[in-house]
Amino acid sequence: MIRVLAILIATLPALCFAQDTLTIGSKRFTESYVLGAIITQVARDAGEAKVVYRPGLGNTGIVFAALRNGAIDLYPEYTGTIALELLKGKAQPTIDDLKRALAPLALGVAVPFGFSDNYALAMSAQKAAALGIRSISDLAAHPDLKFGLSQEFMNRRDGWPALKAAYHLPFSPAGLDHGLAYAAVAAGDVDVIDSYSTDPQIEKYHLRVLADDRHFFPSYDAVLLYRLNVPRRFPKTWAALQKLAGSIDAQQMIAMNAAAELHGQSFEKIAASFVRTREHHATAPTPRRTPFLTLLFGGNFWQLTLQHLMLVFVSLALSIAIGMPLGIWAAKSPMAGRWVLPAAGVLQTIPALALLAFLIPVTHRIGTVPAVIALFLYALLPIVRNTCTGLADIAPSLQESARALGLPAAARLRLIELPLAARSILAGIKTSAVINVGTATIAAFIGAGGYGERIAAGLAVNDNRMLLAGAIPAAVMALVVQGVFGLLDRWLISEGLRADTVGEKA
Amino acid sequence: MIALENVSKTYGNHVALAPLTLHFPARQTTALIGESGSGKSTLLRLLLGLIVPDSGTALFDGVALDHSNRDEIRHRVGYVIQDGGLFPHLTAEANVTLLARHLRRDPEWVGGRVAALAELVHLSLATLRHYPRQLSGGQRQRVGLMRALMLDPDVLLLDEPLGALDPVTRFGLQQELKTIFATLGKTVVLVTHDVGEAAYFSDSLVLLRGGKVVQQGSVDDFLERPADPYVTQFVRAQRGLPPETAH
């Protein structure tokens, strides 16, 4: 067990710093997944570089940070987003403007795919007709309307705050995951949502896209945002990617988004069929649902399982290595006891996604390293606490017997105190392991892989089957971990401590 | 052999031991008697360095007990508490041999010593393979005694060793212990609140009250030359059987 963990820790750096690798990212919504899969496919077909794909990275801030510090080399982005959100510059730049602005960051834009995906506000066509709403300006007359906007849109400079000011809108919207927004508007839970002009759901849910009568939204042309050293490092791959320029029009993009969101096709399949039929101009892929079991065990199931186990157990090993000494210290020194446990408790209260996002600039990485650090911090508390209480709960008469024998402190700890506290300590480690299996699913938001990748993708495209294909194995893994610790308990805990006479006062 | 010189111990406002001096004669059994809270157990713990006195010193063979020689002196003292104080995660035998193994004594010597002690306290080697929770109270106490005697200490300290046992077991073990003490010829200090038990075992008695020594002497001294009315009161507090049921 310990040896396996040691090997995992030893190979960790190798996993992170593999050389001569082109790393492609994508953001956490359907279209970005589709474009990311297409770019990855084309790059792999070029046969030059080892291509790593990190799909579904958090939000714009996370993926842009990853690009700037070289954790990824390129990803699909939109000109409007680059100008306003990332460069804080003017609203309607040309590609050349962007190139000039990005050059000092050693970044560039290229390969306009041939369509734009503009922000828009949408509402039920029926309700819009009933209220006589045709444009965004018309909304101001109906202050009772409920807005449900994606977190990213609500907080972007070019998003809600600017829109509200430009149109003098009186609403205070609620935050809503974009994958859920259409279902919410269809159910009547919200009236107005933000949408993208290439969303296939607009048609499916009979929504009306409100006219931008004051021309507020800039143009969002889909392009590649890349590190300037990519063409030099991978000339052949770069040439192949250049050919993607102008290859996708808005109708095609809507069709591909529909294949993913409405027909449950995998992004890889959509990308493959796009690349295959590019010469003959792609038509919408034939919609066919994958059986759930294929979805569950197919594709990268074992790779995700391995990643998930690695995340859980490498972080757990670190937590044990640091947490047990801290727990012993807290039990032995009243001064340490006063701050070690509260400090570990505070760590537990930091929201997982916030901690992950914070660790990216600190570690200059995305993926495994910040994820393992975050999981390590979360796993500390149960181990520290149970080590401390396990030691503190040893009957005073037993502690005195150990001292009276004339055993030095280190020997007392090793021969008597730790074995007596073993049950409590093991229970703490079990709690940490089970929590880690669950928390590790969030690590997918920063590209650390694991089952969370499916959950993030399922959430992004509002695909419950995809979501379950990630959630079910994670739940099963948690149960298996629980069971394994039950066996460890039988193995490691002295027979003399079992049965109901545990903690007997001598 | 062992002695306390001017030791005192206070817990907050409570005086556990007023400054007192006591010498325990070598190769004799001394019983510490007194009510609960009179300072008997505190005194025993001071002799082992389990608590540090506010003033004064504990002496072992004329050497003051301190931080540096504490563990070494403990290796020469056997300590038995109520119900044995056995470690529940170790078998009886592992409890007995724990210290010897830690000190890397020759395994053959350890095995021989275990066999001899098992015979002394009337335990079978099969019983020693059990965990403490699988043993009776009397067996646990015998194992506790074996553990205390393992390194053949010069001194044996016993804190209410028979306090948790039923009367029949207790009666039997009292007889055995007396024989063992007589055979081994060790310096024994025994804490008990039972005057009869103290008189049965001991060459001399020490009566404590409120952290002070009321009287030190033989049973005869206590009965015939009480230093204080409290001595007589304490000795008489022992209830005999009512005459009508004694027939």
B193 interfaces chain A, CB cutoff of 8 Å: no
Find the length of chain A.
Answer: 506
pLDDT range class, residue A62, cuts 50, 70, 90: confident
Residues A499, A177: Cα–Cα separation, whole Å: 50
Contact A398 B87 (CB under 8 A): yes
A396 interfaces chain B, CB cutoff of 8 Å: no
pLDDT range class, residue A15, cuts 50, 70, 90: very low
Look up residue A209 and give its two tokens: 């896209």
Dihedral sign, Cα of residue A264, residue A457, residue A56, residue A190: positive
Contact A496 B132 (CB under 8 A): yes
Residue A11: is its pLDDT beyond 60?
Answer: no
pLDDT at position A389, please?
A: 93
- Could you tell me which of A153, A146, A141 has the C-alpha nearest to residue A191? A146
Residue A421: is its pLDDT beyond 90?
Answer: yes
How large is the average pLDDT for residues B226-242?
Answer: 81
Chain B residues within an 8 Å CB radius of A504: 88, 132-133
Look up residue B48 and give its two tokens: 């082992």
* Minimal-distance CA residue of chain B relative to A496: B89
Using DSSP's 3-state secondary structure scheme, residue B210 falls into: coil
Whether the Cβ atoms of residue A114 and residue A245 lie closer than 8 Å to each other: yes
For B214, the enclosing helix (H) or strand (E) is strand B212-217
Contact A401 B79 (CB under 8 A): yes
Whether the Cβ atoms of residue B173 and residue B164 lie closer than 8 Å to each other: no
pLDDT at position A293, please?
A: 84
Residue A36: is its pLDDT beyond 70?
Answer: yes
Chain A residues within an 8 Å CB radius of B45: 400
- Could you tell me which of B24, B113, B119, B121 has the C-alpha nearest to residue B80? B121
Please tell me chain B's helix, strand, coil percentages from 3-state DSSP, rounded to the nearest 5. Answer: 45, 25, 30
* Minimal-distance CA residue of chain B relative to A420: B89
Question: Which of B50, B88, B102 has the CB atom closest to A415's CB atom?
Answer: B102
For A411, the enclosing helix (H) or strand (E) is helix A409-412
Residues A291, A268: Cα–Cα separation, whole Å: 16
Q: How many CB atoms lie within 10 A of CB A430?
A: 20
pLDDT at position A154, please?
A: 80
* Minimal-distance CA residue of chain B relative to A505: B85
Residues B148, B160: Cα–Cα separation, whole Å: 14
B117: amino acid identity, one letter: L
Backbone angles phi, psi at B202, to 5 degrees: -105, 150
Q: Where would I find the H helices in chain B?
A: 40-48, 70-74, 92-102, 107-120, 137-149, 167-184, 195-201, 219-224, 229-236, 243-246
Residues B191, A432: Cα–Cα separation, whole Å: 47
Contact B48 A420 (CB under 8 A): no
Chain A residues within an 8 Å CB radius of B70: 406
pLDDT in tens, B128-169: 999 999 999 889 999 999 999 999 999 999 998 888 788 888
- Could you tell me which of A343, A348, A110 has the C-alpha nearest to residue A243? A110
Contact B50 A415 (CB under 8 A): no
Q: How many CB atoms lie within 10 A of CB A188?
A: 10
* Minimal-distance CA residue of chain A relative to B134: A496
Residues of chain A numbered 414-453 and touching chain B (CB < 8 Å):
415-416, 419-420, 422
Whether the Cβ atoms of residue A389 and residue A423 lie closer than 8 Å to each other: no
Residue B245: is its pLDDT beyond 80?
Answer: no
pTM for this model (two decimals): 0.72
Edge-first strand order for the sheet with B77-81 is B77-81, B155-159, B187-191, B29-34, B204-209, B212-217
For A312, the enclosing helix (H) or strand (E) is helix A301-332
Contact B133 A501 (CB under 8 A): yes
Contact B81 A397 (CB under 8 A): yes
Residues of chain B numbered 197-216 and touching chain A (CB < 8 Å):
none
Question: Which of B74, B89, B99 has the CB atom closest to A497's CB atom?
Answer: B89
Provide the greatest CA pair distance for chain B: 60
pLDDT range class, residue A85, cuts 50, 70, 90: confident
Question: Which of B71, B83, B131 has the CB atom closest to A406's CB atom?
Answer: B71
Question: Which of B75, B86, B88 has the CB atom closest to A497's CB atom?
Answer: B88
* Minimal-distance CA residue of chain A relative to B88: A496
Contact A406 B90 (CB under 8 A): no
pLDDT range class, residue B239, cuts 50, 70, 90: low
How large is the average pLDDT for residues B228-241?
Answer: 81
Contact B131 A416 (CB under 8 A): no
For A409, the enclosing helix (H) or strand (E) is helix A409-412
* Minimal-distance CA residue of chain A relative to B151: A405
Residue B179: is its pLDDT beyond 90?
Answer: no
| Buried b / exposed e along B65-100 (16+ C-beta atoms within 10 A) | beeeebbebbbebbbbbbbbbbbbbbbbbbbbbbbb
A460: amino acid identity, one letter: A
Whether the Cβ atoms of residue A253 and residue A121 lie closer than 8 Å to each other: no
pLDDT at position A503, please?
A: 42
DSSP A495: G
pLDDT in tens, A198-242: 888 887 888 888 888 888 887 888 999 999 999 999 999 999 998
Residues B141, B164: Cα–Cα separation, whole Å: 9
Distances (CA, A) of A76 to A37, A79, A157, B197: 10, 10, 20, 90
pLDDT at position A480, please?
A: 96
- Could you tell me which of A424, A437, A145, A115 has the C-alpha nearest to residue A282? A115
B99 interfaces chain A, CB cutoff of 8 Å: yes
Residues A212, A388: Cα–Cα separation, whole Å: 62
Look up residue B104 and give its two tokens: 């890397």
DSSP states of A238-289 as a string?
Answer: HHHHHTTTT---HHHHHHHHHHHHTT---HHHHHHHHHHHSTT---PPPP-P
Q: Per mean pLDDT, which range of A313-327, A487-501, B4-18, B207-221 is the poorest? A: A487-501
Whether the Cβ atoms of residue A167 and residue A136 lie closer than 8 Å to each other: yes
* Minimal-distance CA residue of chain B relative to A492: B89
Contact A494 B74 (CB under 8 A): no
A197: amino acid identity, one letter: S
Dihedral sign, Cα of residue A429, residue A435, residue A441, residue A443: negative
Q: Distance from CA of residue A145 to its chain's centroid?
A: 32
Chain B residues within an 8 Å CB radius of A398: 85, 87-88
The vertex-A283 CA angle with A281 and A285, nearest 5°, equals: 135
pLDDT at position A250, please?
A: 82
DSSP B49: T
pLDDT range class, residue A285, cuts 50, 70, 90: very low
Using DSSP's 3-state secondary structure scheme, residue A57 falls into: strand
* Minimal-distance CA residue of chain B relative to A415: B98
Residue A382: is its pLDDT beyond 60?
Answer: yes
Using DSSP's 3-state secondary structure scheme, residue A362 falls into: helix
CA–CA min distance A316, chain B (Å): 26
CA–CA min distance B87, chain A (Å): 7
Chain B residues within an 8 Å CB radius of A420: 87-89
Beta-strand relationship, A21-27 and A192-196: unpaired
Residues A363, A373: Cα–Cα separation, whole Å: 10
* Minimal-distance CA residue of chain B relative to A397: B85
Whether the Cβ atoms of residue A367 and residue A54 lie closer than 8 Å to each other: yes
Residues A360, A371: Cα–Cα separation, whole Å: 9
Contact A501 B74 (CB under 8 A): no
